[in-house]
A and B are shown apart, each in its own frame.
Chain A
């Protein structure tokens, strides 16, 4: 079974970032403050289910596409 990622979160559900599966995207995500060990919560889902908005560590709201969210593995 593949690991749970941010794209699997339901609205309002929380998760803790474990690692990234895509190197190129991981750098951008790290720079945007998505660090391993950081808690994220799914706050909003745009029409047609994509993109989504996640709250990163309580500090801000980040919007990303589902394929970008699928790169972030959760603990």
Chain B
């Protein structure tokens, strides 16, 4: 037996339930969903293997790999599988491979199993989704299957956790096995393959025929091979006149010839096999040429109504609670520097984002339900033709929809798009989808200028405006993709080919956890940045260069001898801010943003939110509570309503200014994390910089047009 931790890899077809099994074994919460291609990079965790005869349990490291139909990758996410399995020196190279198979479609799932087995890796076959098989009138004889395939077969239900102890036991036994029985290959090489394999095995000191064949077919994907090794392999291919494409098709057909009799012996069908009844019924509506679109539109409108209408009540309560807490804190702390920093700096900044917990929680929960149920795959189908018109792929729908939550994970999901061209376009336009960080900005500005009236009795006008902003983001994304597709040359045709999973009821515990987790990371991750920027901003707006602030203050005091103390104080805090460091920054960029309708105070918030747009609202809260003449510490929204435009004397936040800001934030790429992830996924700075420049120009020009037309 091997010393130290046992390493286990989870391999299987897309949507076979690997990540669900991974979560059940490790107790971690790796993202799962009911559509192919949820996992796009490997994830590791640990679990305990039972001890035998009272021995201590052993720790095992488990790696969850992206799903794949065969070991020959068709998209970027799938390359990682063979890069690990063909390289014994890789830190994740497994001692045992658990092949997770969807029992309702065993023939196709076993193709991958026979390939993994031929690589000489010790395997355990985990049969998942037996409940789906049963609803399709199929019964699987695991014992028969184990005998025919010569591998331990375990029946599991990854969703409920059934059969996990049996699986752990099988993994342990496989890891402890000392003897290594001679491998019975499922695929036997023919013709010139035999000599080619012998040459490769000799050259690279390999002992497995099939691994040698993978060196021949996939060396360009193997990160562990140096260029000379790749060139040498190319020469061998030429020498033996090896036809790779012909071989791949012949190999796959030969494997199915072996698999078919095994499946027909071990899977019994009672009557006609069909997809589960409810899946067929639902598909007849959800994929319908007319009703399919109607349902999809209804689902989207429901999401926006939920964010706006349902979230209002808890948000308003939170808002009032925060305002009261700030006031209370102001009262109990001694007056002075610390009081101001805590209340006007930190609490005002943080309070500005806490209000958005309810809408963000609802948004994440609803997206999670879409992903869990299997509906996402149908959306990809009904949107594919439309997406193709813009140079995208039906699969682009997943990044675009999850971009509504956050662009960073959304851009990573593009790895399952097989065409590099369609993937690049998707990456470039995903940041145009309005993410949850824009939601606070939208909410507060809409609340300022749109009345909360209802149309048709149920639809909230504010919700409709919000829907309009999200639609604008989508239209912007599609238009951008179309324009880019005119400039970027397309090299290869894209695939669609997508498996339709059967519908499943969302696991409510899972939905609740996703909601909790996203709120937690929003509050803590965004909170950290917002808090830091709020403090910096508070310092910058409370101090100014030299004694400029004091001079300005003295000038105000002497110029208003008749005014009441209250009026003087208000005027003082306002000129102090204007002459602070932050005020100088604001004035510095004012000429640039003036055509958009913004003054220097909004300029400060724009600058502060350059690296992360969620900072905007918190910054506004901080700025307006420092400059504020509002004794009763009202909420941010009330402060903004009361803000006066010094030039016109009217309200500062007119509809023209608010809409101009809204449009600016729909298009502007104000997120460092997104730029970083685009850089990583496109392997260079070219695309993120083009994207940043393009989106900033688009944001500026659109906001300019909106302001000039409306004012």
Query: A residues near B, CB below 8 A?
Result: 23-33, 35-36, 43-51, 53, 55, 57-65, 67-68
Contacts and interface: CB of A to CB of B under 8 A. Distances in A.
A41 B691 CA distance: 44
A47 B385 contact: yes
Nearest to A47: B289
Interface stretch (B25-33, B67-75, B148-156, B512-520): B67-75
A47 B292 contact: yes
A23 B284 contact: no
Interface in B65-122: 69-70, 72, 74, 104-105, 107-108, 111
Given A28-B495, A61-B499, 7 more contacts: A30-B249, A30-B253, A43-B283, A60-B500, A62-B497, A63-B498, A65-B384
Contacts, number: 121
Nearest to B492: A24
Contacts of B289: 45-49
B104 A59 contact: yes
Contacts of A24: 245
Contacts of B107: 33, 57, 59
A24 B249 CA distance: 9
B272 interface: yes
B693 to A, nearest CB: 34
Contacts of B279: 61
Contact of B111 (A31, A36, A65): A31
B496 A64 contact: yes
B384 A44 contact: no
State the main secondary structure of chain B at its contact with A. Answer: helix
Interface string B491-530: 0010111111000000000000000000000000000000
Contacts of A25: 495
B403 interface: no
Contacts of A64: 496-498
Contacts of B256: 30, 35
A19 to B, nearest CB: 11
B231 interface: no
Contacts of A27: 72, 245, 248-249, 252
Interface of B: 69-70, 72, 74, 104-105, 107-108, 111, 136, 245-246, 248-249, 252-253, 256, 272-275, 279-280, 283-284, 287-290, 292-293, 377, 380-382, 384-386, 388, 394, 493, 495-500
A48 B386 CA distance: 9
Contacts of B248: 27
A50 B287 CA distance: 11
Contacts of A51: 381, 384-385, 394, 496
Contact of A30 (B252, B280, B377, B500): B252
Contacts of A60: 104-105, 108, 275, 499-500
Contacts of B275: 55, 60-61
A31 B284 contact: no
A32 B105 contact: no
A46 B105 contact: no
B494 to A, nearest CB: 9
12 contacts: A27-B248, A32-B69, A33-B111, A45-B289, A51-B394, A53-B283, A55-B275, A57-B107, A60-B500, A61-B500, A63-B497, A65-B497
Given A47-B292, A58-B273, A62-B497, A31 B381 contact: no
B651 to A, nearest CB: 46
Contacts of B499: 32, 60-63
A23 B287 CA distance: 30
A47 B388 CA distance: 13
Q: Which of A31, A45, A46, A49 has the most CB of B within 10 A?
A: A31
B498 A62 contact: yes
A23 B245 CA distance: 7
The 6 closest A-B pairs by CB, nearest first: A33-B108, A61-B500, A58-B273, A44-B287, A31-B69, A30-B252
B269 to A, nearest CB: 8
Given A43-B283, A51-B496, A59 B273 contact: yes
B560 to A, nearest CB: 68
Nearest to B289: A47
Given A46-B384, A59-B104, A28 B497 contact: yes
A48 B388 CA distance: 12
Nearest to B70: A31
Nearest to A43: B283
Contact of B287 (A29, A53, A55): A53
Nearest to B133: A59
A42 B496 CA distance: 17
B99 to A, nearest CB: 15
A38 to B, nearest CB: 9
A62 B15 CA distance: 13
A61 to B, nearest CB: 4
A45 to B, nearest CB: 7
A49 to B, nearest CB: 8
Contacts of A28: 69, 74, 495, 497
A26 B287 CA distance: 26
